[in-house]
Amino acid sequence: MKALVSRLDSFGDVLLAGPAVRAVAARADHVTLLCGPLGEPAARMLPGVDEVVVWDAPWAGFDPPPVRPAEIAALLPRLAADTALVLTSFHQSPLPTALLLRLAGVARIAADSEDYPGSLLDVRHHRAPHAHEAEAALDLAAAAGFPPVDDGRLRVLPPPGTAALTGDGPYVVLHPGASVPARAWSPGRCAEAVRELTAAGHHVVVTGGPGERDLTAYVAGGTGLDLGGRTDAPLLAGVLARADAVVTGNTGPAHLAAATGTPVVSLFAPVVPAERWRPYGVPHVLLGDQRAPCADSRARTCPVPGHPCLESVTAQDVVAAVEKVVSAR
């Protein structure tokens, strides 16, 4: 049996699909993962994936492309499968992807859908109202005939060694960037946390992407180790795996840390529900006012002057939370 799993969102979303992918892989001969460009690095790290198909869907992402019929026609032969799971967030419709898969000849398609699917779905599942994204994906997989085969935690393939980057001793990672501004702690607060964590006896490693070098250099200051722009996704997984704890916002590295088994201190802006997007399966502490006026707004830029849901968190709060998750581990 050839199976396809679709998750067209970002890096962290694809990581959260991992337990469901493993459930499918346990019963399928071949698993294709259909993802978007932002999710591709995560897709290539998931156990159970035999093939990755990357497509920038017109109905996904922050800056979706126009509909290009010729591109869709070229994509369809790559989507051949006997059965498919369409994984989406609670506020998204699976039906555009289901239509694409029907056009590709997929015989059996399962998805969570509140909208009437017509003939697009063979398994129309209703997700539990407050389920975490990882759990919701596993529930859908089970409804489609792929029950869980392990503990359901996030996982990635074994990452490369990174001692040459970080040194051999223990450390705490602080990742100051986020996918959207509303989910990021301010650079000043991050820099203060690096200084306070160092004063508390922790070696601090600051991580970030190629476009965040100025940010990581400022946050690391004279006390942290700046790895901004020096880690691709597998190397970042290696850095996070060896950390005592990871401090970051609600963004991809929080889920990557969880996938490596590392505790997370999450600066969690409540623009999306923590019950669905918190670090999954590892010791974690959520910092931030979860009842702030921006709660559940899905805002990309904070709608409240001063970003009070996160700016109310202090560096001392972070130090205390790091001690808590490290001891829990």
Which residue's entry shows tokens 């509140």? 114
In sequence order, which residues have a C-beta less than 8 Å from that of residue 222 and are 6 or more positions away? none
For residues 185 and 141, what is the distance between their CA atoms, to the nearest angstrom?
A: 35
Digit-coded pLDDT (tens) for 247-280: 999 999 999 999 999 999 999 988 889 899 999 9
Digit-coded pLDDT (tens) for 171-208: 999 999 988 888 889 999 999 999 999 999 999 999 99
pLDDT at 277: 94
Amino acid letter for position 197 = L
Digit-coded pLDDT (tens) for 66-106: 999 999 999 999 999 999 999 998 788 999 999 999 999 99
Record the pTM: 0.96
> Of all residues in the chain, what percent carry a pLDDT higher than 90?
85
Structure tokens at 229: 């722009």
Check: CB of residue 56 under 8 Å from CB of residue 64: yes
Structure tokens at 249: 């916002």
Structure tokens at 185: 């702690």
Question: Domains in the chain, start-ordered, CATH in brackets?
Answer: 2-143 (3.40.50.2000), 163-328 (3.40.50.2000)
